[in-house]
Structure 1
Amino acid sequence: MREFLKRHSFVIGLFLFSFFLRLLVVLCIHTDIVSDFGLMYKASLELVSGTRDYLNNVYFLTWAYQMGHVVYQALLLSMIESVTFLKIVNALVTSLIVVFVYLLGREVGGEKGSRIASVLYAIFPFPLFLNTVLTNQHLPMLLILIAIYLGFRLNEKKLQIPLCIGIGLLLSLSNILRTETIVIIGAIVVLGGYLVFQKDSFRFIAIRLGILLLTYFLSFQLASFCLVQTGVSPNGLQNGNPTWKFVEGFNYDTDGMYSKEDSSLYATDPVLSKQVLKERLREVEKMPLLFLKKIYIQWFRSDLSWTFNTGEYPVLFSISNFINQMMIVLFHSLALSSLLFLKKKNYLQILLTITIVFYVGTYLLIEVMPRYAYSVQILEAILASVTISNLFPKKLKD
């Protein structure tokens, strides 16, 4: 036991440090449950109590894919019916995310860099304060990180079908909770194609990738089917209006952000959504400026308002917002600089880089808000390990 603690002292210390900070935040800062999170929280309570009034809510009939998070919260609330409990679970989950920033950072960049990068991420204000929000972003991202970590534990000389199935299940569960996992799936497919041309193991890679993708898609469909059959969600995990996010993304008046007017007119009407999207796509001359504005909003604007939505902590909000803005720029710079040290066989770095590129490209097309940068900031923290490690003299590197 003593040897185990000594060997893993940094990981344990990092987790405890991260959890202490996050626990402090969720216990000391009051955040109102607003917007979609309020609807999902109420639906979770109804699911626990058995009333299920949410079944008559057009929100859940249209955006049935949100039911994954509703069921997850309901499972937690069935144990302890407390908002504070949900936030403490957030703190546990995000503390584990910090640990995986270190573990993956060590794989991609080395020990020194990963330690510094993970500690920096642990005190990064945005993900730190987001623990007070009942968002559906935390657990899905942790599952993705675990899947990536396991993926790079695969033995090059063994097929390891059970592990491939496990990775597929993790990614599928992540997608059930929040439908953005398709981005990492796309990056995995691209990396798989890249490896086919780099190695003499086409059949080996194809089988692994096929098993992973088959598990991912089948388990998602099975979960959706179960929600329908149990009456929890008549529409399973479907997206009743997939055009909607693009309608918002090409709103030139709001710079691609949410519009109340659009919401009242098009959110629940797929036919009208397609019509207005076609009209907006014709305004090609407006797109370059729109894309520039969206890049700034999504990737460079600091926004802690989701946590500080009660107006109770003006000084803390002001100071934290300033620090957050500086750290956004810092992680962007460190992650971008990692390209200078990109190696042909550092497949993890290649995967993370491809994923970020896919995220950036996706948000050029759909609705943006600073909160959606959460996933990419985690990947940037991992890539920051590469740059930081290369700042040390070679004799200090592990």
Structure 2
Amino acid sequence: MIERFQNIINKTILTCVAIFATTVFLLMLVFYYQNFLFENSHNVIIAIAFIILVLVLGYGLTRIKTDDRILNWLILITMLLVFMITAIFWISKVPSVQLSDFGNFWDRLLDYKVGDPLYQTDNDYFSKYAYQSGYFVYVLGVSRIFGYHIFAVQFLNVVYQALILLFTYLLVVKVFDNIKMARLSVLILMVDLDWFALNSVASNQYLGSLFYLITLYLLMQNKLKYYILAGITLTGGCLIRPIGPVIIAGIVVYAVIYLLMKKHDFHATLKVLLALVIYFALFSMASWGIKASNINAYGLTNNDPEWKFVTGLNYQSNGTYSPDMDKLIDPSNTRAQMSKVEKKQLHKEIVYLNENHAWLRLFLHKTQVLWSSRTMATDFANIKMMHNDATVARVDFLAYVGSIILIVFSFIGSLQLFRSKFNDNLYLLLLPLMAFAVVQLLIEVQGRYRIEFLPVIAIVGGVGFYQVLHIFSSIRLRQKKGVPLNQTL
């Protein structure tokens, strides 16, 4: 009875992932049709050539034997070196100007002195979003060590990206025990320009993503010392990129369902609890430190929770940042006054959605923006400052082709998971992804917000890529008489 119930839970989670991946796939087709299909005849040629190249590279990676541990590491290190060299070349070709929120971090550092508050009023950026102080302290530390040179931040971003690729590889091996699949997951993530293009800006997404991946990997080791380290890395992730609640939600659900209910492993459940206690203790200490240093009197809190929902539930802007919504903000007012304005506007947004039965349409639009469209990473890299419109358009499209590859293979992979062999650790990756996808239905979205979870998407995509190559290999071998099908891949 218990086993049957557990099987139902497993199938339910996989079904949710499949529905999510299918929706993203279909919305990607709509986005491509509306934005690229008739824009430029060269786009089709570029897309086909790029996809063929990835297929050829993937096929080559699966033909290399996996029984030699040294060779496996040489292959992975070669891939990481190629990625890093390409990424550094990219950095050298884009402007160092920091736009939008990235400028908020970098530009303030020039004359900043430790102990100075980051804001003038309680309605400024760093007073409303005090949780951003964690990443500001990181950037401050980098600038103090290496000087006020954006290249230091950029280069470290590339290092973090390479480590993300490494842990993506390790997670696939841990979950599926399949080296070839791990290589394919790394490949489709490293060729996604939409994922890596933000390395030229002061973005907190790569370091945050790395901390979260390490946390999940450590939890899979099921040893006390690793649970303690997981609490520390989880704290690091939350200090840098405050999406910790969805990660924690996924971890808690995993612990309850798979450690407590399925395995009856009370010791492992208590170790997870220990990791969370360590996180809460360290995060509270860090918040106190921010206050004590006078950098931010609000610590690491969110003092404007309404705004994310006001923008996220605005149907006209598809739940994204909108200059029209920005007009609601009056910098001369206090946070208490603006909170009342925002709550009133939030009520209006909900009433509009109810009266027009627009909830589902809004959720679909937001899903497309967050998961199926361009991340806009190349826009934030500001390449239009140094290159003509034709080059910018081509780079933007090429970046999106990388996302298309990821979306297509993850769609196939989500269906293949029902037939694949893997251990329960996979759910430790899928549950935070699903939690994030659900939360983002209600709050503000941007395409780049998916960057932290693209490694998980790539892991599912690796399953799909492996299956596609397996089918191609099977067809090829069937044409050769006397070659058994079990020799494929």
Tell me which structure has the larger Cα radius of gyration. Answer: 2
Task: Establish whether residue 43 from structure 1 lines up as the match of residue 111 from structure 2.
Answer: no
Q: What residue number does 2:417 align with?
A: 341
Distance 2:117 2:431 in 1: 42
For residues 297-338 of structure 1, the C-alpha deviation after alignment (integer angstroms, 9 at most, x for no partner) is: 111111221113544323443223223323323222322333
Q: What residue number does 2:380 align with?
A: 306
Q: What residue number does 2:453 align with?
A: 376
Q: What residue number does 1:59 align with?
A: 125
- Cα drift, residue 147 of structure 1: 1.3
Q: What residue number does 2:481 align with?
A: none
Please point out which of 196, 204, 223 is paired with 2:267: 204
Task: Establish whether residue 367 from structure 1 lines up as the match of residue 444 from structure 2.
Answer: yes
| Contact map agreement 1:96 1:142 (CA 8 A) in 2 | yes
My pick for the range that moved more, 119-128 or 136-145, is 119-128
My pick for the range that moved more, 219-228 or 266-275, is 266-275
Q: Write the mapping of 1:321-340 to structure 2, written as runs, cut at 5 A.
A: 321-339=396-414, 340=416
Residues 31 and 289 of structure 1, relative CA distance in 2, 3 Å threshold: farther
Please point out which of 443, 462, 465 is paired with 1:385: 462
Look up the SS of the partner of 1:365 in the other structure. Answer: coil
- Cα drift, residue 56 of structure 1: 2.0
Q: What residue number does 2:49 align with?
A: none
Q: Write the mapping of 1:1-398 to structure 2, written as runs, cut at 5 A.
A: 6=71, 8-47=73-112, 49-50=113-114, 52=116, 54-56=118-120, 58-81=124-147, 82-109=149-176, 110-154=178-222, 160-195=223-258, 196-201=260-265, 203-266=266-329, 268=335, 269-283=338-352, 284=354, 285-302=357-374, 303=376, 304-308=378-382, 310-313=384-387, 314-339=389-414, 340-342=416-418, 346-391=423-468, 392=470, 395-396=487-488
Letter of the structure 1 residue corresponding to residue 141 of structure 2: L
| Contact map agreement 1:300 1:325 (CA 8 A) in 2 | no
Distance 1:222 1:396 in 2: 54
TM-score, normalised on structure 1? 0.90
Look up the SS of the partner of 2:440 in the other structure. Answer: helix
| Contact map agreement 2:119 2:126 (CA 8 A) in 1 | yes
Distance 1:289 1:338 in 2: 26
| Contact map agreement 1:14 1:99 (CA 8 A) in 2 | no
Distance 1:262 1:329 in 2: 31
Instruction: Give percent identity, aligned residues only.
Output: 23
- Cα drift, residue 145 of structure 1: 1.0
- Cα drift, residue 266 of structure 1: 4.5
- Cα drift, residue 7 of structure 1: 5.8
TM-score, normalised on structure 2? 0.74
Distance 1:50 1:349 in 2: 43
For residues 171-211 of structure 1, the C-alpha deviation after alignment (integer angstroms, 9 at most, x for no partner) is: 1110111111221111111111211221132x223311210
Look up the SS of the partner of 2:380 in the other structure. Answer: coil
| Contact map agreement 1:45 1:74 (CA 8 A) in 2 | no
My pick for the range that moved more, 306-315 or 187-196, is 306-315
Letter of the structure 2 residue corresponding to residue 254 of structure 1: S
Look up the SS of the partner of 1:265 in the other structure. Answer: coil
- Cα drift, residue 293 of structure 1: 1.1
Distance 1:358 1:191 in 2: 12
Distance 1:4 1:204 in 2: 33
My pick for the range that moved more, 3-12 or 329-338, is 3-12
Distance 2:104 2:327 in 1: 17
For residues 271-300 of structure 1, the C-alpha deviation after alignment (integer angstroms, 9 at most, x for no partner) is: 322222122112321222211111111111
Distance 1:273 1:266 in 2: 9
Distance 1:141 1:359 in 2: 13
Distance 2:175 2:398 in 1: 27
For residues 76-118 of structure 1, the C-alpha deviation after alignment (integer angstroms, 9 at most, x for no partner) is: 0001120111111111111111222222122234111211221
| Contact map agreement 2:117 2:296 (CA 8 A) in 1 | no
| Contact map agreement 2:413 2:463 (CA 8 A) in 1 | yes
Q: What residue number does 2:57 align with?
A: none
Residues 53 and 168 of structure 1, relative CA distance in 2, 3 Å threshold: closer
Distance 1:119 1:147 in 2: 22
My pick for the range that moved more, 187-196 or 69-78, is 187-196
- Cα drift, residue 71 of structure 1: 0.3
- Cα drift, residue 396 of structure 1: 5.0
| Contact map agreement 1:46 1:52 (CA 8 A) in 2 | no
Residues 50 and 191 of structure 1, relative CA distance in 2, 3 Å threshold: closer
Distance 1:384 1:87 in 2: 27
For residues 315-362 of structure 1, the C-alpha deviation after alignment (integer angstroms, 9 at most, x for no partner) is: 443223223323323222322333332468622322222222222211
Residues 361 and 88 of structure 1, relative CA distance in 2, 3 Å threshold: same
| Contact map agreement 1:108 1:386 (CA 8 A) in 2 | no
| Contact map agreement 2:216 2:429 (CA 8 A) in 1 | no
My pick for the range that moved more, 321-330 or 97-106, is 321-330
- Cα drift, residue 249 of structure 1: 0.3
Letter of the structure 2 residue corresponding to residue 227 of structure 1: I
- Cα drift, residue 264 of structure 1: 4.1
Over aligned residues, Cα RMSD in angstroms?
2.2
